[in-house]
Amino acid sequence: MKVVHFSDTHLGFNKDARDLARLAERIAKEEPDLICFTGDIVDSNPEDLVDAIPVLAELSAPLGKYAVLGNHDFKNTKRIIELFTSAGFRVLRNESYLLKRGGAVMAVTGLDDLLHGEPDPVKALRGVPAGTFTVLMMHEPDYADIAQAHSFHLQLSGHSHGGQIRLPFVGAPFTPYGSQKYINGLYYTDTKRMPVYVNRGFGETVMPFRFLCRPELTVLTLHHSSDE
């Protein structure tokens, strides 16, 4: 099963609907089964999302399109959710959806933002049968150290921008709170060894450029384990 994961477009700062249209073309070429967006669709103003709704609406995946809110999406969450919904995305705030394909079932879970919301993994997992493979969408990747205590099998996050500015031999000299341990790429939590994938994001914030830190579109292929 092919999952496309993108994050942190920050529309209204250094990116707009035209930039997102180029990203959407790349997403469509991947022919994903599932599309996941892990927060910060706008940099601040919800109305900066309006022009991009037709672009997001054209994206399709047989198992659906899902999103969570990031810390920059809290200026007017009601409006953000309305716009996302009009584009065919389900915005998950401490809730899960069961996805069925053939005889297999998996769950996709979205938690509320760590910085401005109230993430509640217990509430989110209600209705998910025990043993169900569950993908967690959570904006801030460092939450994985809390999430690993629950029945999640994979966490997808953004927030860090990979540092946005990276230096040779040093890496990212600064990352935001919530992404100081897990910054860029694939990690495994210390206790449960739960995989955490951190997308570098598509847009920028604070500074309108990146250095040694390219924007990212992540394509993950999930395979059924031979041990199950």
The domain ranges of the chain are 2-221
Per-residue pLDDT band at 193 (split at 50, 70, 90): very high
Contact between 130 and 42 under an 8 Å Cβ cutoff? The reply is no
Contact between 125 and 99 under an 8 Å Cβ cutoff? The reply is no
Q: What's the sign of the alpha-carbon dihedral 3, 8, 14, 17?
A: positive
Q: What local confidence, expressed as pLDDT, does residue 227 receive?
A: 58
Q: What is the percentage of the chain residues whose pLDDT exceeds 70?
A: 99
Distance CA 63, CA 135 (A): 13
The whole-chain average pLDDT of the chain stands at 96
Of 168, 143, 1, which is closest to residue 68 (Cα–Cα)?
Answer: 143
Tell me: pLDDT of 92 over 70: yes
In total, the chain counts a number of residues equal to: 228
- Residue with structure tokens 């079932």? 105
Distance CA 199, CA 52 (A): 21
Encoded tokens for 131? 């043993």
- For the domain made up of 2-221, the CATH class stated in words is alpha beta
pTM of the model: 0.97
Q: Name beta bridge partners: 106.
A: 99, 133
Encoded tokens for 43? 């940099």
Tell me: pLDDT of 226 over 80: no
Distance CA 199, CA 218 (A): 7
Q: What local confidence, expressed as pLDDT, does residue 224 receive?
A: 81
Tell me: pLDDT of 12 over 60: yes
Average pLDDT score over residue span 133-159: 98
Q: What local confidence, expressed as pLDDT, does residue 103 receive?
A: 86
Residue 218 — φ and ψ, nearest 5°? -100, 135
Q: Where are the beta strands (DSSP E) in 59-183?
A: 65-67, 90-91, 95-101, 104-110, 133-137, 154-157
Q: What is the percentage of the chain residues whose pLDDT exceeds 90?
A: 96
CB-count exposure of residue 197 (10 Å: 0-12, 13-18, 19+):
buried
